[in-house]
Copies of this chain bind each other. A is one copy, B any other.
Amino acid sequence: MRFFSDNTATACPEILTALEGANRGLAKPYGEDEWTARLDGAFSAFFGTEARAFAVATGTAANSLSLATLSPPYGAIFAHQEAHIAVDECGAPGFFSGGAQLALLAGEHGRLEAAIFRAALGAYPPGDVHKVQPAALSITQATELGTCYRREPLAELCAIAHERGLKVHMDGARFANALAFLGCHPADITWRAGVDVLSFGATKNGALAAEAVVFFDPALVGDFELRRKRAGHLLSKSRYVAAQLLAYLETGVWRRNAGRANALAQAIGRAAGAALLHPVEANEVFVGLGAERRRALRAAGFEFYDWGPESAGDARFVASWDQPEGDVPALCEALGRS
């Protein structure tokens, strides 16, 4: 029973159907196809504002291309110290930006905090040529610890960033899970709160390989398309990645899939009881098991990642949109028992 990550999941039927539907006739390549032409409209409708949307195949590409568009090579990118861009992308932001420096911040339950961010900015006096130049704030929604930002704290972070001229990027690898949990309009936790660019994830939540970079201000697009091309992230048969994104948005599978995964995580979280480390607000559950219980659960057939320092004995369980029916009840029972 696999709880490694939601990228162990399959692609959902609607996505495969969309691929097959796009698989007819010769189509212009490199984003000149008719599926890609519909992306801006579909994302604008979804977010309730005029947006520009660009398809890529991986979340790392979405994040790093966004950040390289927002930050010069001598820029500082502020992010939570647990952020995927900081700890799981092998230095991609530094690569894509040509050397931008991450300024990593603490914050409870994986969330950035306004006071900490404001203090960190204070170390960069405007006009100081000796320091990297604050350029972007990257916020993960849902966070790496399975929590969500509500609208107000999000808006406050964005406001602090904007005051100092920084742009705001959101890593939304699990954006659908956050949206399903919060039950708000997509606008509320993006452009209305001050987010400038969103890495909109679909892969983990039922696509095969499809992410969108969504610019809420078309003026920010800048040289994104050139950066995407030279990074090898402009797919030649671009219709297939666009078709996935269209299906993902338009059939509503984003909601159905995220809803199921979230609900499963809730159940696991309840079963974890007092050992639960962070509120369950998406599809990830962090549990302080200790070495012994981790061993026991693995012996019982559960697969999951250890989390944090070895000595802590913590574990992460991620529920996938297509998690087999019996997996979660079994896990809950085992957690309750162990």
Q: Which residues of A contact B (CB under 8 A)?
A: 2, 4-5, 7-11, 16, 19-20, 23-30, 56-65, 72-76, 86-92, 94-102, 104, 119, 122-123, 129-133, 203-204, 208-209, 223, 225-227, 229-237, 240-241, 309-310, 320, 322-324
In the complex, chain B residues whose CB is within 8 Å of the CB of A27: 8, 10
> How distant is the Cα of A7 from the Cα of B29 in the complex, in angstroms?
6
Interface of A, secondary structure class, is loop
> How distant is the Cα of A39 from the Cα of B66 in the complex, in angstroms?
32
In the complex, chain B residues whose CB is within 8 Å of the CB of A56: 232
Beyond the given A76-B91, A98-B98, A232-B233, please list 11 additional residue pairs across the A-B interface where CB-CB is below 8 A: A8-B27, A19-B19, A60-B231, A89-B229, A90-B132, A91-B101, A92-B230, A119-B309, A122-B309, A130-B229, A133-B226
> How distant is the Cα of A312 from the Cα of B17 in the complex, in angstroms?
45
Measured between C-beta atoms, what is the minimum distance from A235 to chain B in Å? 5
> How distant is the Cα of A288 from the Cα of B241 in the complex, in angstroms?
36
Measured between C-beta atoms, what is the minimum distance from A151 to chain B in Å? 29
Contact A20 B9 (CB under 8 A): no
In the complex, chain B residues whose CB is within 8 Å of the CB of A209: 57, 209, 235-237, 240-241
Contact A5 B25 (CB under 8 A): no
Contact B88 A99 (CB under 8 A): no
> How distant is the Cα of A86 from the Cα of B103 in the complex, in angstroms?
10
Partner of A19, one of B4, B119, B208: B208
Contact B9 A230 (CB under 8 A): no
Measured between C-beta atoms, what is the minimum distance from A47 to chain B in Å? 24
- Nearest 9 A/B pairs, CB to CB: A94-B99, A61-B232, A60-B232, A90-B230, A7-B236, A98-B98, A8-B26, A7-B29, A2-B26
16 sampled A-B residue pairs with Cβ under 8 A: A9-B26, A11-B240, A19-B19, A26-B322, A26-B323, A57-B57, A60-B229, A63-B232, A73-B230, A76-B91, A89-B130, A89-B229, A90-B129, A91-B100, A92-B229, A96-B232
> How distant is the Cα of A30 from the Cα of B203 in the complex, in angstroms?
13
> How distant is the Cα of A2 from the Cα of B28 in the complex, in angstroms?
9
Contact A230 B89 (CB under 8 A): yes
Residue of B nearest to A204 (CB): B236
> How distant is the Cα of A226 from the Cα of B72 in the complex, in angstroms?
10
Residue of B nearest to A33 (CB): B8
In the complex, chain B residues whose CB is within 8 Å of the CB of A229: 60, 74, 89-90, 92, 129-130
> How distant is the Cα of A24 from the Cα of B123 in the complex, in angstroms?
33
